[in-house]
């Protein structure tokens, strides 16, 4: 779906922000906008606060190890030179993968007639994990495209 692909690329670009935690805030904002765009596409009401809470709930189903990878990738950027390079290598791909998984899960939920109020993160735990793996492949495929578009801007 074009909406998901566009926001995957935007979140990967946001993951390039060199400031620890500013990148995570930018990625989360991008993911929230994607859910809003999906809700509009499926003519489903959207409420930002509810969306933020659902993103957190869904990430919570992954467990501490998966969530920790994103935080660690962001924190690593705080180490001069080497950390910035390492963080920039890891965070955009992880951001793209999680955005893809979120998009696929919410699109499926909205497509089946669900709303933000009826969304249950526990129900989508396995599907989110499956889509996260697929998202890792998509992010790797889009990595060069994102880099070339940023250079062209």
122 assigned to some structural domain: yes
How many domains would you assign to the chain?
Answer: 1
Nearby residues of 109 by Cβ (< 8 Å), 6 or more positions away:
118, 119, 124
Confidence bin at 5 (pLDDT 50/70/90): very high
Alpha-carbon distance of 38 to 2, in angstroms, equals 10
Q: What is the DSSP string of 45-79?
A: ---HHHHHHHHHHHHHTT-HHHHHHHHHHHHHTTS
State the Cα torsion 56-71-89-142 to the nearest 10°: 0
152 assigned to some structural domain: no
> At residue 125, what are phi and psi to the nearest 5 degrees?
-55, -55
Q: Is 66 exposed, middle or buried (0-12, 13-18, 19+ CB in 10 A)?
A: middle
101 assigned to some structural domain: yes
Q: Please say whether the beta carbons of 83 and 19 come within 8 A.
A: no
Position 31 scores a pLDDT of 96
Instruction: Say if pTM beats, i.e. exceeds, 0.85.
Output: no
pLDDT tens-digit series, residues 93-128: 888 999 999 999 999 999 999 999 999 998 998 999
What's the domain range around 103? 2-144
Alpha-carbon distance of 132 to 94, in angstroms, equals 9
Position 1 scores a pLDDT of 84
Looking at per-residue pLDDT, the higher value among 150 and 49 belongs to: 49
39 assigned to some structural domain: yes
9 assigned to some structural domain: yes
Q: Is 29 exposed, middle or buried (0-12, 13-18, 19+ CB in 10 A)?
A: middle
The token duo for 62 is: 């992954």
59 assigned to some structural domain: yes
Position 17 scores a pLDDT of 81
153 assigned to some structural domain: no
pLDDT tens-digit series, residues 29-54: 999 999 999 999 999 999 999 999 99
- The distance between the two most distant Cα atoms of the chain, rounded to a whole number of Å, is 48
Rg (CA), the chain: 15
pLDDT tens-digit series, residues 65-80: 454 455 555 555 555 5
111 assigned to some structural domain: yes
Position 107 scores a pLDDT of 98
Position 79 scores a pLDDT of 55
């Amino acid at each position: 779906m074009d909406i998901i692909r566009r926001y995957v690329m935007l979140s990967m670009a946001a993951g390039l922000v060199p400031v620890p935690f500013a990148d995570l805030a930018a990625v989360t904002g991008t993911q929230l906008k994607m859910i809003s765009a999906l809700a509009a596409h499926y003519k489903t009401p959207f409420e930002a606060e509810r969306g933020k809470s659902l993103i957190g709930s869904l990430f919570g189903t992954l467990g501490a190890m998966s969530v920790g990878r994103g935080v660690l990738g962001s924190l690593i950027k705080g180490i001069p030179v080497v950390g910035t390079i390492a963080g920039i290598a890891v965070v955009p791909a992880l951001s793209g993968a999680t955005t893809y998984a979120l998009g696929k899960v919410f699109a499926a939920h909205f497509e089946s007639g669900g709303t933000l109020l009826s969304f249950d993160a526990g129900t989508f735990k396995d599907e989110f994990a499956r889509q996260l793996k697929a998202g890792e492949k998509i992010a790797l495929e889009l990595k060069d495209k994102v880099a070339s578009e940023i250079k062209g801007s």
